[in-house]
Amino acid sequence: MQAGLSTKNAPSPSVVLPHYAAGAIFFIIASVLLIFASHDLANTYIGPKILALTHIMVLGWVTIIIFGALYQLIPVVMEVKLFSEPLAHISFYSMIIGTVLLSYSFWNNYIGKTIYMEIGGGLIFLSVILFSVNVLFSALKTTNKTIENTFIVTAGGWLLLTVSLGILITMNLVFHFIPKTNLELLRIHVHFGIVGWFMMLIIGVASTLLPMFFISHKLNKQYLKFSYFLTNGGLIILAVLLYFDVNMWLKGAAGLIVLAGIIFFIKYNYDAYKKRLRKKLDIGMKLSVFAFIPLFLTLLFGILTVLNLDFLSKIQTSINTAYGVSLIFGFFTALILGQMYKTLPFIVWLKMYQDKVGKFKIPMPAHIYSEKVADWHYYSFLVAIFTLLIGIFAKESIIIQVSAAAFIITSVLYAYNTYKILFHKDQSEPLETK
């Protein structure tokens, strides 16, 4: 275990911090666009504005922050140096430009072969490839093959598949070489992206971070292993069934296998929550714990989406929309809002004060952001997500606009704290002599 430990594994903050800075901006943009997409969102789950909004949220907000957090986390949990920092920089900029171009193209209903979509999609593909290469090559060097790490590496593989399929779909619009409608392929694309990339990654990262911050010892890793085989196995079966469009009950069964896997993940983290030594939850953990409520809703709506039951046909569109919304605007967003407070202050603190610990009087990571502002956006976020779901089922764009207002408040307050942390100035003072 000792070899190579003397090298400094942590990446340069210049790799990690811009991700948090950009993510906060994309979240504000998405919240503003939600106002304009409210009418579409009240009626359908697919359309130019919804596609644009989804990709800003999923790529600009969730993926960019996860990339940044992973560049910091991988060296810690895998006990290796990040494979390449320049690749991480290139990946970051190509993701930002790609997301802007692709979303712009979607928003203006430029489906098909346009220069924006081609360049945007290409840049996102490049970004993802560079990220996956970075993760896989870093992971190759590790001797620390825990199940959490396996989740993260597997997620990288699914992400490659998701983006490849996305490219394939846009190309198929022109060349029609796959004898399937794009809506069918889109379903597989969405499930690879949601279950394969995001869920897999979230399971790996959350199962690493949450027990660490709850401070829970002696957890049953077996649950995570079950979760790994069930989610991956279920997803492969589901993809095959979706492609051949076999009857809905079989698809439902495959969905249930994935669901069982996710339940094992929830069980693992629930145990960590129950066994926690730190009884009082700070704002970061309060948001992270709350995230599990939209996760339950996602599972419920997800199953109903796959089953497509006759007696629910009147609200089926709303269910499908709510499935994506509770996952992206609910679960992912809550988890990122919360985990930002557990990771970013620490990273900045480390850069600023690492060499001063014990020699100077220094603030702690929790002191470099405003707790009050975080509390406010916790409540505005609760209002935002529940109003959004109500608006979708009520099919009322005005309710969705109210939600958008709450999301704007949330994202601005969140960005305020993010930038307060990023621009934190050294506050060390000489130690008082006794």
Residues that bind another protein (CB under 8 A): 1-2, 5-10, 75-76, 79, 212-213, 215, 217-218, 277-278, 346, 349-350, 354-355, 357-359, 364-365
Tell me the Ramachandran region of residue 3: left when phi exceeds 0, alpha when psi lies from -120 to 50, beta otherwise: beta
Closest to another protein by CB, 125 or 346:
346
The CA distance from 234 to 226, in Å, is 12
The CA distance from 323 to 319, in Å, is 6
Closest to another protein by CB, 329 or 349:
349
Among the listed residues 350, 381, 378, the one whose alpha carbon sits nearest the alpha carbon of residue 363: 350
Tracing tokens 């996305």 back to the chain, one arrives at 166
Q: Tell me the closest approach of the beta carbon of residue 204 to another protein, in angstroms.
A: 16
Q: Tell me the closest approach of the beta carbon of residue 137 to another protein, in angstroms.
A: 19
Asked if 34 and 57 count as a contact pair (C-beta separation under 8 A), the reply is no
Q: Tell me the closest approach of the beta carbon of residue 215 to another protein, in angstroms.
A: 6
Q: Tell me the closest approach of the beta carbon of residue 164 to another protein, in angstroms.
A: 33
Q: Tell me the closest approach of the beta carbon of residue 327 to another protein, in angstroms.
A: 28
Give the residues across from 429 on adjacent strands: 361
Alpha carbon 151 to chain centroid, angstroms? 14
Closest to another protein by CB, 364 or 394:
364
Closest to another protein by CB, 77 or 322:
77
Strands (E), 176-239: none
Q: Tell me the closest approach of the beta carbon of residue 230 to another protein, in angstroms.
A: 23
Closest to another protein by CB, 179 or 358:
358
Alpha-carbon distance values, 339 to 152, 165, 236 (Å): 17, 30, 30
Among the listed residues 209, 361, 189, the one whose alpha carbon sits nearest the alpha carbon of residue 288: 209
Closest to another protein by CB, 331 or 349:
349
Closest to another protein by CB, 355 or 426:
355
Among the listed residues 24, 22, 44, the one whose alpha carbon sits nearest the alpha carbon of residue 411: 24
C-alpha R_g of the chain: 21
Q: Tell me the closest approach of the beta carbon of residue 75 to another protein, in angstroms.
A: 6
